[in-house]
Amino acid sequence: MAVIAVWKCDRDGAMFANKKDAEEHDKMLELAATITSLIEREVSIDESLSEAIGLLLAKRSDALAKACKGKPELLLAEEAGDTENNNVTQISTG
């Protein structure tokens, strides 16, 4: 029997085959939590919606940073396999 090392993210229990991916995921979740807190502090909004928005913006942080530097169209460009945009739409309209 072989032993396989895996890294588990404390925040959501996601498992990763390497430490770099696990740390990147954890940083993204930390950013999402911070964005969520900011939204909830500044706007009266449903908690599940603010979490969905925080997670969406954290997952798209690279595009968001580029948009802030003068390329806003990058926020609307869908990444391959990106379904978070659809999840936020479903929550806000459902």
Question: Model pTM?
Answer: 0.71
CA atoms within 13 A on the CB side of 27: 8
> pLDDT tens, 7-56?
888 888 899 999 999 999 999 999 999 999 999 999 999 999 999 999 99
How many angstroms separate the CA atoms of 6 and 66, rounded? 33
Number of domains the chain contains: 1
Instruction: Report if residue 57 sits inside a domain.
Output: yes
Q: Tell whether 63 is covered by a domain.
A: yes
Q: Is residue 58 part of a domain?
A: yes
- Which amino acid type is present at position 74? L
Alpha carbons 2 and 21: distance in angstroms, whole number: 22
Residue corresponding to tokens 């032993």: 3
Inside any domain, residue 19: yes
Question: Which domain covers residue 13, as residue numbers?
Answer: 7-93
What are the beta bridge partners of residue 8?
Answer: 15
Nearest one of 21, 88, 26 to 51, comparing CA atoms: 88
